[in-house]
Chains A and B, each alone.
Chain A
Amino acid sequence: MYKLLLCWRYLRTRYIALVCIVSVMLGVATMIVVNSVMAGFTHEMQARINGMLGDLIFESRSMDGVLDADAHMQKIKGIAGDSIIGMSPTVHVPGLMYIDINDQLLTRQITMVGIDEATYSSVSAFGDYLQHPKNREQLTFSLREGGYDTFDHQLPDQSEQQPRTQMEQAGWWYRKQKAMLKKQRQLITASPSTESEHKNPFGVPATDEGEGRDFDMATEQHVGIVMGIGVCGYRTADGSDHFVALPGDDVRVSFPAATLPPKAINEHYTITDFYESKMSEYDSSFVFVPLRALQKSRGMIDPTSGVGKFTSIQIKLAPGANAESVRDALQNAFPAQFYMVSTWRDKQGPLLAAVNMETAVLNVLLFMIIAVAGFGIFAIFLMIVVEKTRDIGILKSLGASGSGVMGIFLGYGLSLGIVGSGVGLLLGLSFVANINEIADLLGRITGQPVFDPSVYYFYKIPTIVAPFTVTWICVGAVLIAVLASVFPALRAANLHPVRALRYE
């Protein structure tokens, strides 16, 4: 009983113990915050990668693709049909995109993905990232009249976003305005040579079948293209988005044909929508076009049978299916020199591993903070034991046992640990809950945005509080506090009563 009483009294009268509590508290709070943010980022990133890539990717090793997606899908179904709920063939090809901004060309390196409108949404979350609500329901590559989102639909709270005002115009109305302007300009210059120069500024002979002559921009569109929001948009530090082209604009893309001898294909496309996966790696390089059109442009369709070539098949697995075992089964069934099967994790392996590594290293470093707090407790406790030497002697002269005296200091350490990690827990959790407000505040004070939305494609810092991790952190902190008090407590227990009584 005296242990509790003295423990409590020492806690209350020794303000230096507060220092221990504060250091444990700060360590615990920092660890919780960092782990929550890292978990939030990792989760967000993984969800995006998985969303875009599907669960499994079956690829031909050749960029020119292999014939007959249907036959391949049939065979895949025969091998692992039970665990597959969706498949969609795609064609991937690198290319160069030319965006015309007021007669100035913006050239960007992109990856074109030909997708099958009917099945693609069954393997990928791509459809959810589109900017037109109707396109999210059913993807088409035809330009919409208007009604594109001006707010990011993936975020629950519109009030804190910068509206994308440019998107209000996007659609046919915008295209008509553009067409009118172009016509006026043509009338003014009235020189056919300038026009052809403008139409074909990079000297590659146009292969499109004479659209230029009777193609009416105001009422017709080229093949639709869905652009990554980062391909023709950028975000400034205040969080507002700016676009150099909108749905309704035409772009030009050069890419290699899948034929011999090799040649470059040059095609017009009309932007019909943007997608925003929030993985800037994708959003700034991937553009989507209809599979059939791309196959046609690249000469991937067998003229006799009409069957097209594909470069990969994205596969969606049933929930709970083991991606690794399906991957291995498929890889065994198809010759490895021609085909490659990988899970989405394999695809982003180095990235995911790097993030995990980073989290682990951060945790080790932060745990050092708590260890430092432990040494603080150790030193302060030794001090208190020395200071309390005579009291320990008194207690022993009154019949207190060594273990009882030890209990005072162990209990002292335990309560420091519990109070420290308890307050740290509350502090950490409330920090995580208000992290964006805090980041804003810090940004305002320092004049330097802490979380720059132009760098990350999130408006907010994503966080996930994992109860397991939090428990582990708190238990670890309490354990360190107790361990740090073991040696001082043992010292107190082993003090000779007479020497302690004579201590001045």
Chain B
Amino acid sequence: MTTAIHTEQTSPDVAGVDKHSGKDVLLKVRGLRKHFPIKSGFIFSREVAAVKAVDGLNFDIYRGETLGLVGESGCGKSTTGRTILQLHRATEGLVEYEGVELTTLKGNKLREMRREMQIIFQDPYASLNPRMTVQRIVAEPLLVHGIGDSKSREKRVADLLELVGLNPYFADRYPHEFSGGQRQRIGIARALALDPSFIVCDEPISALDVSIQAQVVNLLEQLQADLGLTYLFIAHDLSMVRHICDRVAVMYLGKIVELAESEELYTNPLHPYTQALLSAVPVPDPNVEDSRQRIILKGDLPSPANPPVGCNFNTRCPVAVDVCHELEPDLIEILPEHWVACHRVT
């Protein structure tokens, strides 16, 4: 079965079950674009160009799963996460959360939706206000939403800190007194304060020591199991997400080039970009490792302000043909639950 998802196809089914898979769709992204204008001019500046950070994304996130989002630095992963959360407003396209369209929401309605969706950041140093105590940081979401009085908030903060493995005794300390891993836990506690169902994890472990990474990943997995969370897990390298994610989307220059279940993607990568990325991942088995062929991509990542015509991977693709320079490939379901955007894959 091959079906292309287009923006127009946005089916009116409400918070419902996806037609193809029978899975429970929590979040639906259709034709999502985020362009950052490049302006120039003295006082009355005009838009002269745009950085196409996110350029037409279509995918679903199923309830309770972890969807990995992988790609090189600058390909638009963070922008995707932030645009879904309405931290950036989309230039175009739809984001539907349980049937509620978010991109046009404003004011209190949007604020209400924010209780459902939270974010965990990469940099544990920049993500906590250095002038606030842990207590205030973790309690802020509750305060903003007017939940509880100061007593009950204090209790809730203590519970949350315990939940993420921190001693509530230290709630009156400032962030600089904690280590990177501990700070990341504080950030997780803040994200959990409003009891969300969906969390964007923007490279939550990339900045941590390897020994701490496993701890934080385990914490995230345990929280997912206990609280029934859904994750969009952003990472810049494939090896990291393999055992965390149920499905993985590979991004290149603002577009998804391949989307499949983790095992399927690792064992049967179809897009030449995915193949190149995977060829760079070391394999634990020495026999396989010896025969591993690295595919070195030529050239640099093109500027997202001026992407190539046609398939935007064509400047670096080892198998590009004429059509790749003319037509943009659609994301097509080549195999069940395995989507690829490539003219050469059929």
A binds B: no
B interface residues with partner A (beta carbon < 8 Å): none
A interface residues with partner B (beta carbon < 8 Å): none
